[in-house]
């Protein structure tokens, strides 16, 4: 029996401003840092030894994980960074205010962009300063791997491929992954066998660790550690 802990980063600067963030590398707010520290306390209270620590390339996830590690004071602090765990790319919506876009395009269309399985926003221009090609944090990612836009399906494909090739084989140990709303939704779809309609209803709260119990590579149970901020997992 082992545990896979999934943590969405704490509140980011653009979460607070209600902007589509995607691959833009924004940091945590003061409240986001507090959420990360609270996540660390909740994980520490489990009194389990965690062997592997994974994060996306993005500083809001990476700094969330660092704050968790500082809180639990683990002896093993080697972080494995994977761009495949990055947030979904929001294409031409990147940087725009969500409320403004709802007024411009209507709530239904924005909901489809945000929650549907295989609908992508239009591509972000490669000369846009928010494009990942122009962000230093991604300089070592092969250029042909950097998207201009993504659907949840695109995100699922890269996240689950990485999980299957790099994380799954380590599930005999306890693992902590710090990532993003859509990369965690993708993992939950895979792990919980959620259909395309169900995944549109799954919400992932910031800074609330999701504890998944694994036995022989099979998910046995899942629960949020902060029940007061838990969301419906649709499966458990």
Distance separating alpha carbons of residues 180 and 178, to the nearest angstrom: 7
Contact 235, 52 (CB under 8 A): no
- Which residue among 9, 89, 131, 180 is the active-site one? 9
What three-state secondary structure class fits 29? Answer: coil
- Which residue among 35, 87, 92, 150 is the active-site one? 87
* Residue 87 annotated among the catalytic residues of the structure: yes
* Residue 9 annotated among the catalytic residues of the structure: yes
DSSP 100: H
Kindly report the number of other CB atoms within 10 A of residue 213's CB atom: 15
Looking at the chain, list the stretches that DSSP marks H as alpha helix, in order from N- to C-terminal side: 13-16, 30-44, 59-72, 98-105, 107-115, 152-162, 181-192, 196-199
Strands 175-179 and 52-55: parallel
Distance separating alpha carbons of residues 135 and 133, to the nearest angstrom: 6
**Residues pairing with 5 in the sheet:** 176, 211
| Catalytic sites, residue numbers | 9, 87
């Amino acid at each position: 029996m082992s545990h896979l802990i999934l943590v969405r980063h704490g509140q980011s600067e653009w979460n607070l401003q209600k902007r589509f963030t995607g691959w833009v590398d924004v940091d945590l707010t003061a409240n986001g840092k507090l959420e990360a520290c609270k996540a660390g306390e909740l994980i520490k209270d489990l009194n389990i030894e965690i062997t592997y620590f994974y994060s996306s390339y993005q500083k809001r996830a990476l700094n969330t994980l660092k704050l968790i590690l500082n809180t639990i004071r683990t002896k093993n602090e080697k972080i494995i960074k994977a761009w495949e765990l990055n947030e979904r790319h929001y294409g031409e919506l990147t940087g725009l205010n969500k409320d403004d876009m709802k007024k411009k395009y209507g709530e239904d269309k924005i909901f489809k962009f945000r929650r549907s399985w295989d609908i992508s926003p239009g591509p972000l221009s490669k000369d846009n300063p928010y494009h990942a090609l122009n962000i230093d944090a991604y300089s070592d990612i092969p250029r042909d791997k950097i998207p201009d836009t993504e659907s949840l399906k695109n995100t699922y494909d890269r996240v689950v491929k990485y999980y299957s090739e790099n994380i799954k084989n380590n599930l005999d140990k306890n693992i902590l992954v710090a990532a993003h709303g859509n990369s965690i939704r993708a993992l939950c779809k895979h792990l919980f066998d959620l259909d395309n309609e169900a995944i549109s209803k799954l919400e992932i709260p910031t800074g609330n660790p999701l504890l998944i119990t694994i036995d022989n590579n099979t998910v046995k149970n899942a629960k949020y550690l902060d029940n007061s901020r838990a969301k419906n997992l649709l499966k458990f």
